[in-house]
Every structure is written in structure tokens, then in C-alpha cells.
Structure 1
Amino acid sequence: MNSARISELLKTRPKTSLFWGLYLASSNPEAKPDLGIAVAKKLAKRAVDRNRLKRMIRELVRGAQATKLNGDVVVKLKKPIGRETRGRLRKAEKEVLRAQITGLI
């Protein structure tokens, strides 16, 4: 997905939870659905955590695209993670983030 398409989707009204924003595009039957993920360095300091979150989001959205979602999707992290765990994403926090993104989809 190119940056112009992501910018266009970010202008739409998101479905939100505490940490996530989910931006959906209208379905286009002839085009393959795309996925954009925005996890800013300011919000997740460690590259390991950013990559782990991106993998988790890809897994959840691909499963949902097979059943429910049929348009372009952009998922954006809105709040910093790891405040209580000295900047590191721990298992309990990861499960909370997974539950929130699953609830949005």
C-alpha cells in the first residue's frame, strides 16, 4: 500500500480502542485488500516490540480478511506502550493489546 493511499485512509473516521485506531476503506471487488500498519518509534521504543506488534497485527487482520474484512485496512498505534515495564512489551501487555485489536476487528 503506498503512502498516498494510507494518508487517504487516515483521513476517514477510525474505529478506536484505548491503544489502537482501525481505519477501513470501502470494499473494491476487483482489487486485492491491502494492509497498512503504523507503529511509531515514539510510541514503541524498542524495534523488537514494534516488529512483534506488526506481526501480531498482520496475523489478526489476515484472519479477519478471510472472513469479515474485504477492503483496505490501516491499523495505527495511538498511545505509548511499556510505561509500567520500563519501555518493554511484556506478555500481559501484549495480551491486552491483542484483545483490543481483536475487539476492533
Structure 2
Amino acid sequence: MTSDRLSTIFAALADPTRRAILARLAEGDATVTQLAEPFAISLPAISRHLKVLEHAGLIRRSRTAQWRSSSLEAGPLGEATAWMEGYRRFWDDSFTRLDAHLRRVQDSSEETTP
């Protein structure tokens, strides 16, 4: 297990089932049974996914009587987004430079074409 929080968040997000669970929780709290409905996997497997998400801080689990529900915790997603933002700016700047270069090439090509 990693001690780096960002690595833990990205490891949790790496699995498509966990991403689907987060998407469902973005709509509202849900029980393990409700979260398991769209998947062809067992309730214990869903519970293991929930433990990974909880460990990463991406969800909060609560218990009311015999019902145990999960809810989305968006803070860690913000941390991951903030980290990726620097790379988005890098790619935006790279594409802007490429676009400018291609325009210069196209302009010079048009100038030399009779």
C-alpha cells in the first residue's frame, strides 16, 4: 500500500468498476445492494471496491440501523484534478504552439504557390 495520498487516489480511480460506483454516488447516497445492481459481481466484491474507495477518501460510509450507505467525498477528486491541471496547461500550450507553427507553414506555402 502506498503512503502517497495522490497515488492512493489514482490507484482507486484506475478500476472501471470503482469509477462507475463513484459516478453512481454522484447522483446520491446508495447502499451496497443498490451499488451492486448494475454489476455481475458479488456483494462482497462490491464491498471490497468500497473499502478501496473509502481508504482513498473518495467515499464516506455510514450506518443507520441495519442500513449501511455510501456517499461521495469529492475533495480527493479535486486534489487529483489540481495535479492534472498543470499537465492540461502543458498540452494546451503545446497545441497552441503547434497550431501557430502549422499556420506559418501554411501561410508560407500559400505565398510560394503561383
TM range (shorter): under 0.3
* Structure with the largest fraction of helix: 2
| TM-score normalized with structure 1 length | 0.28
